């Protein structure tokens, strides 16, 4: 992955507002990435300083290994899950 794409992905994730969520696919589309997996890769390798918890899977669920922390962080921002799923119709960020 080139450095420009890497930075675009980071910029998109950083711009997801508090109280909203985006999917990996949303971020990939906005950043111009070929696949949502690249977003996951950037967050795993270089996302510790980003609001990574605002990025969910396409079905509104968090990554299984981060679910407890991710849902707690979202809840603290007013994003409520039903079970382990966030209602994307209600909380999904619509990029300008």
> Considering the domain boundaries, does residue 96 fall inside one?
no
Domain count, the chain: 1
> Considering the domain boundaries, does residue 61 fall inside one?
yes
pLDDT grade for 1, boundaries at 50, 70 and 90: confident
Q: Cβ contacts of residue 48 below 8 Å, gap of 6+? A: none
For residue 61, the domain's CATH number is 1.10.10.10
Q: How many CB atoms lie within 10 A of CB 56?
A: 26
The string of pLDDT tens digits covering residues 41-86 is: 999 999 999 999 999 999 999 989 999 999 999 999 999 999 999 9
User: What pTM was estimated for this model as a whole?
Assistant: 0.94
> Considering the domain boundaries, does residue 55 fall inside one?
yes
Tell me the residue range of the domain where 59 lies. 3-91
């Amino acid at each position: 992955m080139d450095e420009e794409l890497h930075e675009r992905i980071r910029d998109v994730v950083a711009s997801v507002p508090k109280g909203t969520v985006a999917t990996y696919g949303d971020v990939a589309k906005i950043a111009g990435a070929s696949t949502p997996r690249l977003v996951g890769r950037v967050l795993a390798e270089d996302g510790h300083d980003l609001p990574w918890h605002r990025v969910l899977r396409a079905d509104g669920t968090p990554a299984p290994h981060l679910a407890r922390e991710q849902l707690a962080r979202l809840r603290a921002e007013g994003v409520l899950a039903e079970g382990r799923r966030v209602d994307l119709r209600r909380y999904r960020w619509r990029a300008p």
